[in-house]
Amino acid sequence: MLDKAPEPPAERKRTRIPDLALDQGLPANVDAERTILGSVLLDQTAFNEAAEKLSEDDFSLDSHRRIFLRMSELVDANQAVDIVTLSAELDRYKERDTIGGIAYLASLTEGLPRRPVIGEYIRLVLDKSRLRKMMMIFSAGIARAADQSETALEILEAAEGQLLEIAQDAQAGALRTIYQSVEAAGGTEPYLKAYTDPEMKPGLPTGFLDYDAMTGGLQKSELTIIASRPSMGKTALAMNIAQNVAIGKKNIVAIFSLEMSRSSLERRMMASRAWVNVRKAQEGIYLNRDERIKLETALGDLVESNNIFIDDSATLTPIQLRAKARRLKQRQGRLDLIIVDYMQLMSAGVKTGNRQEEVAYISRSLKACAKELEVPVIALAQLHRGPEQRTDKRPILADLRESGQIEQDADVVAFIHRESYYNHDEDISESKKALAELIIGKQRNGPTGIVRLAFVSQLTRFDNLAKG
C-alpha cells in the first residue's frame, strides 16, 4: 500500500497557482528563478538572502514554487538544503516527478559559480511578480466592471487597496546599521543636528506650549489619538491645532470630517480665531460692528493662508483617505498634517468579522498612512461610558471604544477631560469651568502626564493657560 503524501502545514495551504510563465503575455523571468534556486542548492546561505524578499508565490512556475516551498521547510527544520535532501523532501509530498525529477534539480546548478551573487536575480523575479499581480488586479477589475453587479466606487476601492498592498510591499524597509543611517543623512554633523540644534524642530508644533514641551510636537509618521466623551471638545481642539499649524505658515493640513459639514467647520475656525461667539447670530442676536470686523479679519487670515483642505464626505474608507491624501501631497508638493474626525465613523471598506475587527483595521490603516506619507496623523476617537461610572472621571486607556488595537497602533494617546462637563454645581468658580486637561495616557517615545489648557466654551476654543 502506497504511503499517503503528508498534508502541507496549515499555513502553507493555498490555491495552486497555474504556470503563469506559460500564459502568453504574463511577465516572467524563468532563468532568474532557476539561478536563485540553483544558488541555494550550491550555497545554503543564499536562501536567507532570497527568503528576505521572496515568497514561493513570487515564482512564475508551479515547479519553482514547490521547490522553494520545500527549501523553506528544510531550513525551518534546521536541515541541510542540497539536491539529496530536497529530492527526499519533494518525494515525501509525492512532488518529485511533478517538478521534473532529480535531473531537473541537478540542472538548476549547471553553469553557476560556486558562490553566485543573486541580488540582481531577486530584483528581476520580484519585478516580474509585481507586474503579474498588477495585471491580475486590472483583469479582475475589468471583469467586475463588465458584470455591473457592483458600483464603480466599490470596484475602484478594491483595486486601489490591492495596488496599495503591492506598493507597500515594494517600499518595505530593510535591515540597516546606524552607520548606514548616518551615511544617508550626509555624515555625523547633519545627523546630530536634528537632535542638538534648537532651530531644527523635531516635530510640528501644535501651538499648545506645554503639550509641545512634553511631546516635542507632532512627529512625522506617527499616529496621535485624541479621545474623549461626546461634547468634550475633540473637534474644537483639532481645529485649533489645524489653525495653529497652518495660518501664517506654509504647512499643508488635510481635514477629513465625517461628523460635521465643511461650512460648520469653517464657521467654527473663523469664530475661534476671531474670538467671536457666532452662535449669537443663530439665536437672533445681531453682532456689533467690532465683532463683524474681527470675523472679517479672521476670515481673511484663513483665506490668505489657503492651506487648510477640508473633505466632509459622510462616508470614508481608509483606502479613500489615503488616496485623497496622497493626491493632495502630490498636487501641493507637501503634506504636513492629517486630521480625521472621527475614526469610529469610518468604514473599513473591506469585509471583517465584526465591528471590533473593523475598527482595528481602520486603526492599522491610519498608522500605515502616517508611515507611507511620512506625515503626522491625528485621529479623534470616542470613549465608552466608563469614565461616567467612576468617581474619578478622568479617562484611561481601557476606555478607548471598540478596539484595543487603537491603543496598540497609536504613538500618542491623549484624553480631553473637563471637570465642569460632569460638575454642574452653580457654585463652581469660573476659573474651574474654564480649565481643561489634556491627559497623555500613552507616548511611545516620551513621558505621560497632564497638560492643563484653558477652554472657552462660548467659542469652543482651547488656549494656553496664562503663566504666573
Q: pLDDT tens, 298-314?
A: 888 888 888 889 988 88
Residue 242: its pLDDT value, please? Answer: 93
**Greatest mean pLDDT range, 5-9, 30-34, 350-354:** 30-34
Average pLDDT over residues 374-381: 93
**10 Å Cβ neighbour count for 310?**
18
pLDDT, tens digit, 9 for 90 and up, residues 346-372:
887 766 777 788 888 888 889 988 988
Distance from the Cα of residue 458 to its chain's centroid: 35
Calculate the alpha carbon distances from 73 to 4, 47, 69, 70, 368 in Å. 19, 12, 6, 5, 31
Helix axes 119-147, 30-42, angle to 10 degrees: 140
Residue 425 pLDDT: 61
Question: Mean pLDDT across the stretch 313-335?
Answer: 85
Average pLDDT over residues 241-258: 90
Query: Which tens digits make up the pLDDT trace of 421-465?
Result: 777 665 566 666 678 889 999 999 889 999 999 988 777 789 898
Pick the residue with more confidence: 449 or 327?
A: 449
What pLDDT score was predicted for residue 403? Answer: 62
Asked about 259 being catalytic, the answer comes back as yes
- pLDDT score of 194: 63
Residue 195's SS3 state is: helix
* 37 Cβ neighbours under 8 A, 6+ residues apart: 64, 67, 68, 71, 108
pLDDT surpasses 50 at 10: no
Q: Which pLDDT does position 1 carry in this prediction?
A: 40
Q: For the residues 85-95, what does the mean pLDDT come to?
A: 93
Q: Are strands 377-382 and 223-228 parallel, antiparallel or unpaired?
A: parallel
Closest to 204 in 3D by CA, of 339, 295, 303? 339
Residue 114 clears pLDDT 80, i.e. is over it: no
Q: Which of 73, 95, 259, 419 is catalytic?
A: 259
Give the burial class of 4: count Cβ atoms within 10 A of its Cβ; 0-12 exposed, 13-18 middle, 19 or more buried.
exposed
Domains of the chain plus CATH, in order, are 13-150 (1.10.860.10), 206-464 (3.40.50.300)
* DSSP code per residue over 9-73: PGGG--PPPP-GGGSTT----HHHHHHHHHHHHH-THHHHHHHTT--GGG-SSHHHHHHHHHHHH
What is residue 338's predicted lDDT score, i.e. its pLDDT?
A: 96
Percent of the chain with pLDDT over 90: 34
**How far apart, in whole angstroms, are the C-alpha atoms of residue 237 and residue 239?**
6
The amino acid occupying position 198 is: P
In this predicted structure, the answer to whether residue 9 has a pLDDT above a threshold of 50 is no
Distance CA(56)–CA(157), nearest Å, equals 27
Q: Residue 339 pLDDT > 90, yes or no? A: yes
Give tens-digit pLDDT for 149-202: 988 877 887 787 788 778 767 766 666 778 777 887 788 887 777 666 655 556
Joined grid coordinates for residue 143: 471583469
